[in-house]
Structure 1
Amino acid sequence: MNGKKIYKFSENTLSLFSIKAIELGLTIFLIPYLISKVGLLNYGSYAFAMALIIFLQNVMNYGFNLATVREVAKNKKDKRVINEIFSTVFSVKIFLLIVIYGFLLTLIFLIPEYYSQKKMYFFASFLLIGDLFSLRWFFLGMEQMKFKAIINFFYTLLYLLFVLILVQNETDFYWIPFAEGMALLIVSMISFVMVIHRYQIIIKLISISEIINYLKLNFSAFVNLLLPSTFSIVAVFLVGVFGMPTQVSFMQVGVKVSNAFCTLNSILTLAFYPMVNRNKSIMFNSRVVLLTIGVILSLTMYFTSDYLITNWLRIETSENINHLIKIVYLLSPMPILVAIISSYGINGLLPFLKDKIFSYINVFSMLFMILLAWILIPVFKFYGGAIAFLGARFVHAGLSYFLFKKMKKSV
C-alpha cells in the first residue's frame, strides 16, 4: 500500500477502534450500574426483550454492511451510482420496517408474555425507527468511518444522559430501551440529513416489485450479515425461552464480555473488508494479523476471567459471581474462532464472491446452535446456552476454513 492508502486505512481503523472503545466503555459502566438499579431479574427481562429487537434490527440491515458496502467501495466517485444505491437502500429499509413492525405487533397482541411487557417493547421499537436512518453501510463503503465515530460519540452521550435521568429504581427497567431507541433516533436523523446535504443525495423511492427483486438478489448477503452478527443474540434469546430472566442476565453478561474481547478483530475485519475486495493480494497479511490477535485475546480472556468478573461486578452472592466466571471461562475460545471466521469467511470467501457458500455455512451453524440449545438448555440452563453458542462458532469457523481452502485449490 502507498502512503495515502496507509493513511486512509489507519484513519478508518482508529475511527472504528474509537467506536468500539466507546461501546466497550459503555458496557463496562452500564451493566453494573443497571443491575444495581433494576436487579438481575428485571435486567434479564430487559435483555430478553432487546435480544428480539436487536435481531429484528439486523433483519432491517438486509446485507447492507456487506453487499452494499462492496458496491459503494467500488463506485464511491460515481455520484449517479451512489444516488441509486442510497435510494434503493432507503426504500428497502422502509419496506422492511413496515413488515417488521407488523410482526412485532402480532407477537405483542397474541402472546401474553409479550403483552405484559408491551410498554418496554414499544419503547424498544424506537431502535427500529432510528435504524431506518442509520448510515453505517454508507460510511463503511466510502471509507469515512471518522464520521461514524463522531455520530457514535454523540449517541453514547445522549443514551447515558437518558439512562441516568430515567433509571432510578427496580420498576424503571422499561426506560432502558427507551433511552437506547430515542438516542439512536435523534442522532441518526440528524446525521442522515447532514449526509443528504453534503453529498447532494436525491432519494427516489423504488417500486415494490424492485424491492422484492432486490431482496431476492441479495438474500445470500442478508444471511451472511444477519446470522454471524446475531449468534450471540439468538443464544441469549434461547436461554430466555427455556429459562428464567436471571439466567438470561448471566448469559448476556457472558456474551458481552466475550464480544468485548472480540472487539479488536471486529474492527480490523471491517477495516480490511473494503481493501481486500479491491486488492486480494493483501488477504494473506490481513489473515496473519487477525489470527495472531485472536490467539492472544483468547488466552487473555481465559487467564483474566476470574479477576475481571470479581472486580467488575458487584452482585449479591458469591454463587452468582462464580456462575459468571465459569461462563466467561467457557466462552474464552470465542476471539480465535471469530478471527478464523473473519479470515476465511468474511475476508476470504466473500471477496471471491462466494456469498452463497458462506450463507450455507451460516445457516448450518445457526441450526446447529438451535438444536444444541434445545437439547442442552433445559438440562444445563444458561451453561447449555453457552455451550450451544460456542459449539456453533466452532462449526462456523471450521467450515469457513475448510471451504476456503477447497475453493483456493480449485481456482
Structure 2
Amino acid sequence: MSIKKNYFYNNILLITQYIVPLIVFPYVSRVLGIEKIGILNWIDNTINYFIIISTLGLTLTGVREVSKVKNDKVELSKVFSELIILHTVITLMIVIIYMIVLLNNDKFIENKNIFFIGITKIVFNIFLIEWFFKGLEDFKYITNRSIAIKLIYVILILIFVKNENDYTVYYIITCLTYVVNSVVNIVYAKKYILFQLNNINIKRHFRSYTTIGLYIVLTSMYTTFNVTFLGFVSTEASVGSYTTALKLYSIILGLFSALNSVLIPKLSYLITEREDSLFKDLINKSMNFIITMSFPIIFCGIALAPQIINIIAGPGFERSIVCFKVILPLIFIVGIAQILSNQILIPINKDKQLAYISFIGAFIGVTLNILLVRVYKEIGTALVVVVSEICVTVMLYYLCYQYTKIKLPFVQIIYNIILSIPYFLIAYLVKSAFIDALYVLIISIVLSLIYFLLIQVYIIKNKIIISQITSISSKTFA
C-alpha cells in the first residue's frame, strides 16, 4: 500500500483520536473532578511504565523486522513467533515484579483495586501486536478496528460513568478496550501467519529488542516516569493539572506521530534496498511537514491556552494553563526528535548510539525531577520534560549529521517562527472583541487558518500546501 493511502488511513485514525478525547475527556473531567482524574492518571501512568519495560524495543524493532520479511509468509511467521515469545517471557517477569512492588508500597496499596485491574493491560499488551500490522503496512485494518472499538468505548463511558464514585468503572472500561483490541488483533493476525514453536531463534532479536528497549525505557524517565514521581512528591490535584495539559498536548502530537507510523516501515525497506536518495527525500518532506505545521499550532495554543483548558477540561483545571503553555513547544522539538530517531537512526540500525543518548537524557531528567518537582510541582515537571527533550534532540541531530549529513533547515525554521508571531495578535484582537471562550476559540482558529494559508501560498510558497489546495480545488470544481 502506498504512503499516501497509509497516511490517508492514519489521518482518519487521527481524526478519531482527536474526536474521542474531545468527547470523553471534557465529560469525564467534569464528572470525576481534578483529584480523581489525578489519581487515575497517576495509576495508569505507573502501569504504563511497567508496560514500557515489558515491551522494551518491540514497538520499533518489531516494525523493522516484520517490514523486512512481509512478502515471505514462512519467514514472517517465524519472526512473529520469535518476537511474541520473547515478549511473553519478559512480560511474565515484569508481572511478578509488578506484584512485589504493589504489595510492598503503601501508596500503591491505598489504590490496590485499580492497580490489580491494571494487570490486564500489562498481560494483554502481549497480544496487542500493533508493531506487526504496522510492519505489514496494513493501516486500513488498524484504522477500521480502532474506530469501531473507540465508538463502543465512548458509548460505555457515557452510559456507566455518572458521578465521581464511578472512577473505578471508568478505569475498568478503559482496560476493557485494551483487552478487546488485543483479542481482535491476535485473531486477525492468523490471516498472515502460522504461530510456531519449532525452528525459532529468539536470540537473534534479543540485542536490538533490549538495546532499543533501553533507549525507550530511559527516554520514559523524563516523559512517563515523571508523572509517577510527581504523584509521590505532590498532590493528586498537581498530577491532574499536569496530566490534563499533557493529554491535550499528546492529542496534538498525534498528528506528527501518524506520519512516523507510516514512514518507519517504508524507510526500513528503502535502507535494505539501498535507495539513499529516496530515503533522504522522504526525510526532508517529513521535516518540512513538522516545521510548517508545528509553529502555527504552538503559537495559537499558547495564545489560546486559557480558552482551550476552560472548554476541554472545565472549571477547576486553571493550574493546567501554565503547564500547557510550557510543554507546547515540544510539538516541534519532539516532532524533530521522532524524525531523527525513528525515521533515520533506527532504520540505519544505530540502536546502541540511541541507548547512549537516552541514558544521558534520563540522567538529566531524573536530576531535574529531584531538583525542581518538589518545589515547583506540576510546572517543574513540565520544565523537566522540555529541557530533557531539548538536550536529547540536540544530541540526536549531532549523531544524524555524523552518519547521514542530513541537516535541519534552520533558515526555514527561523522564517516560520517570525511569520507565526501574528497568531498572538489575532488571538489578542479576538479576545478584546469577545468574552465567551468558545467564540474566542472558534473565531481565532478560523482567522489563524486563513492567515496560515495566505502566508504558505503567497509568502513561503510552500509546494506541499499549494499542491494540496490545487488538488482539493480541482476535485471540488470538476
TM (normalized to structure 1)? 0.90
Query: 2:222, 2:141 → 1: CA distance?
Result: 28
Does residue 1:219 correspond to 2:210, yes or no? yes
Q: Which residue of 2 aligns with 1:76?
A: 70
1:330-345 to 2 correspondences below 5 Å: 330-345=326-341
Aligned mates of 2:40, 2:169 — CA distance in 1 = 10
1:242 aligns with 2:218: no
| Separation in 1, partners of 2:113, 2:42 | 14
**What residue is the counterpart of 1:403 in the other structure?**
399
Alignment of 1:98 onto 2:89: no
Asked whether the 8 Å contact 1:265–1:338 carries over to 2, the reply is: no
Match of 2:390 in 1: 394
Q: Distance in 2 between matches of 1:205 and 1:253?
A: 47
Give 1:179's aligned amino acid: I
Q: Within the alignment, does 1:142 sit opposite 2:136 as a pair?
A: yes
Distance in 2 separating the partners of 1:225 and 1:231: 11
Q: Unpaired runs of 5+ in structure 2?
A: 271-278, 407-478
- Return the letter of the residue paired with 1:113: K
- Using the TM superposition, name which of 118-127 and 243-252 deviates more: 118-127
Is the deviation greater in 169-178 or in 66-75?
A: 169-178
1:276 to 267, 276, 279: 267
RMSD: 2.2
Distance in 2 separating the partners of 1:28 and 1:159: 13
Match for 1:169: what amino acid? N
How far did 1:211 drift? Answer: 4.9
Q: Which residue of 2 aligns with 1:193?
A: 187
Does the aligned pair in 2 maintain the 1:240–1:248 contact within 8 Å?
yes
Matched with 1:377 is: 373
Deviations 1:46-101 (A, max 9, x none): 11100011122222323122112112112111112111111112212221221121
Paired with 2:198 and 2:142, the residues of 1 have a C-alpha distance of: 25
| Partner of residue 352, structure 1 | 348
**Separation (CA, whole Å) in 1 of partners of 2:91 and 2:145:** 22
> 1-side partners of 2:199 and 2:56: how far apart?
16
CA displacement at 1:23 relative to structure 2: 2.3
Alignment length, in residue pairs? 397
Aligned residue in 2 for 1:28: 22
Q: Which residue of 2 aligns with 1:108?
A: 102
> Does the 8 Å contact 1:87/1:206 carry over to 2?
no
| Corresponding residue to 2:177 among 179, 183, 186 | 183
Counterpart residue type for residue 197 of structure 2: K
Q: 2:251 is aligned with what amino acid?
A: A
1:265 aligns with 2:259: no
In structure 2, the CA distance between the partners of 1:300 and 1:269, relative to structure 1 (3 Å rule), is: farther
Per-residue deviation, residues 284-338 of structure 1 (Å, max 9, x unmatched): 333322333333332232233232122222214xxx42x2211111112111101
1:13 Cα deviation (Å)? 1.1
CA contact (8 A) 1:39 1:170 kept: yes
The whole-number CA distance in structure 1 between the counterparts of 2:219 and 2:262 is 17
Asked if 2 retains the 8 angstrom alpha-carbon contact of 1:40 and 1:249, the reply is yes
Q: Distance in 1 between matches of 2:387 and 2:356?
A: 17
Partners of 1:234 and 1:217 in 2: CA distance: 23
Q: Contact 2:61 / 2:208 at 8 angstroms: preserved in 1?
A: no
- Which residue pairs with 1:313 in the alignment? 313
Are the aligned partners of 1:239 and 1:248 in contact in 2 as well (CA < 8 Å)? yes
Deviation readout 1:361-388 (Å, 9 max, x if unpaired): 1221122112111110111111111100
Q: Which one of 197, 204, 229 corresponds to residue 204 of structure 1?
A: 197
| Larger CA deviation: 359-368 vs 39-48 | 359-368
Q: Give unpaired runs (5+ residues) of structure 1.
A: 1-6
* CA distance in 2: counterparts of 1:271 and 1:137, whole angstroms: 12
Determine the C-alpha separation between the residues in 2 that align with 1:329 and 1:303.
Answer: 8
Matches of 2:222 and 2:153, distance apart in 1 = 25
* Over 6 Å off, 4+ runs: none
Return closer, same or farther for 1:161/1:213 CA change in 2, 3 Å cut-off.
same
Cα drift, residue 33 of structure 1: 1.7
Give the conservation status (yes or no) of the 8 Å contact 1:58–1:230.
no
| Worse-matched range after superposition: 344-353 or 365-374 | 344-353
Residue 53 of structure 1 is matched in structure 2 by 47
Q: By how many angstroms is 1:390 displaced?
A: 0.8
Alignment partner of 1:351: what SS?
Answer: coil
1:194-229 CA-to-partner distances (Å, cap 9, x unmatched) read: 221x1242332788xx65774344222213344556
Q: Which residue of 2 aligns with 1:293?
A: 293
User: Is the CA contact (8 Å cut-off) linking 2:88 and 2:126 kept in structure 1?
Assistant: yes
- Counterparts of 1:106 and 1:228, CA distance in 2: 24
8 Å contact from structure 1 (residues 228, 362) kept in 2: yes
Shifted more, 335-344 versus 277-286: the winner is 277-286
Give secondary structure in 2 for the equivalent of 1:270.
helix
Cα 1:351/1:214, change in 2 over 3 Å? closer
d(CA) in 1 for partners of 2:224 and 2:178?
19
Q: CA deviation at 1:396?
A: 1.4
- Counterpart among 218, 233, 242 of residue 251 in structure 1: 242
1:141–1:128 CA distance, 2 compared to 1 (3 A): same
Shift of 1:110: 0.7
- Please name the residue that 1:161 is paired with: 155
| Normalised TM-score (structure 2) | 0.78
Alpha-carbon shift at residue 187 of structure 1 (Å): 3.0
Provide the C-alpha distance between the structure 1 equivalents of 2:118 and 2:174, rounded to a whole number of angstroms: 8
Quick one: distance in 2 between partners of 1:221 and 1:354?
A: 9
